[in-house]
Structure 1
Amino acid sequence: MKKGILGLFLAASMATYAMDAHLRLGAITNAKSYNKEDKSFESYAPTFGLEVTQTLLLADVGVGIAYNGKTSGTEIETVPAYGLVKVNLFPVGVKPYLVGKVGKVLYTRDNISNSNPDGKYYYGAGVGMDIFSLQGEILYSVTKIDGDKRGSDNLNQVSFTLGYNFF
């Protein structure tokens, strides 16, 4: 009996402090037209990243970095680094979750002449699901952009990513 209780305690302790690393690939698009002259938002660009999280009871906290490619109407690519919190709704088997991300844009690139955009802040909210070693997520994100006269101050995007837990 004592060995069983000790085994349960050790298993719960290890599960409480489990670390995960997800390699993520997907597509990103504009939520609305950033460029005032271009009213379309039908193109998709690649997005990929890496997230490392630590499980703490019903939430995962961690850090991540992503690359968001150029979509039609913006021609801006960004590399945000962020902290994240995932709230696990039902943490057994198939695990749906809510996620929030806040960070800073490390790199911004635009190939339009006379434009020098500077990415400032990045934040996003979304929903996702963990199924064994796979992860799917839909995220609405906002990137604060300064110095680009073609668009607004915010680059609003929607991304769909699939991840693989390799840790």
Structure 2
Amino acid sequence: MKKGIIALFIAASTCAFSMDGHIRFGAITNGNTYNKESKTFENYAPTMSLEVTQSLLLADVGVGIGYNGKTSGTDIATVPAYGLVKMNIFPIGIKPYLVGKVGKVLYTKDSVSNSNPDGKYFYGAGIGMDILSLQGEVLYSVTKIDGDRRGNDKLEQVSFTLGYKFF
């Protein structure tokens, strides 16, 4: 019994200081119609993010900040700050995971006349994979937008990102 408790303590201790930092770049597109625009995935904009996570057995918990560029048809760029939980499916070698993100939009930039959109909150869910120091992720996200006089209040997007673990 004592050996089991000591082994569990050692395993938890090694995970206690395993923080990871990722920087990601990619593309984001509209996942659904926004203000009566087409539902195609042909309008892409740049996206980038910086995340720091702490490993806890089968999950990683952390925080991040991102930039989502203006896709054609929305003309709204956002900067969300969020908390995240990454569930590692099987953390051996190539590591696939499920991710959930929830946060607040810190800044909203638009180029729409007679409108003053303001981002309120951000949430998303996706899948990804870690391979050594590289990371790929596909994320479906929703940003709540208030004050857009064009008539919609949710900006639904899909992002494709590739990242690098820098610590």
Q: TM-score, normalised by structure 1?
A: 0.91
User: Aligned AA for 2:128?
Assistant: G
In the superposition, relative to structure 1, how do residues 89 and 111 fare at CA in structure 2: closer, same or farther (>3 Å)? same
User: Which amino acid in 1 is paired with 2:26?
Assistant: G
Structure 2 distance, partners of 1:134, 1:110, is 33
Matched pairs, number: 161
Structure 1 residue 14 displacement after superposition:
2.1
Identity of aligned residues (%): 75
Q: 1:151 to 1:27 in 2, by over 3 A?
A: farther
Task: Give the secondary-structure state (helix, strand or coil) at the position aligned to 1:122.
Answer: strand
- Give the drift of 1:33: 1.7
Asked whether the 8 Å contact 2:89–2:97 carries over to 1, the reply is yes
- Report 1:1-167 matches (<5 A): 13-36=13-36, 38-39=37-38, 41=40, 42-167=42-167
1:59, 1:32 → 2: CA distance? 30
Q: Which runs of 5+ in 2 are unaligned?
A: 1-5
Instruction: Give the 4+ runs in structure 1 shifted more than 3 A.
Output: 6-12
Over residues 95-128 of structure 1, what are the superposed CA-to-partner deviations in whole Å (9 max), with x where a residue is unaligned?
A: 0000000000000011111110000010000000
Aligned counterpart, 2:3: none
**Cα deviation, residue 17, structure 1:** 3.3
Q: CA RMSD for the aligned pairs?
A: 1.8
For 1:58, the aligned partner's letter is L
Cα distance, 1:29–1:151 mapped onto 2, change above 3 Å: farther
What secondary structure sits across from 2:26 in the alignment?
A: strand
Contact (CA 8 Å) 1:78, 1:119: kept in 2 or not?
yes
Quote how far apart the aligned CAs of 1:13 are. Answer: 2.5
Specify every segment of 5 or more residues in structure 1 that has no aligned partner in the other structure, as ranges: 1-5
Partner SS state of residue 14, structure 1: helix
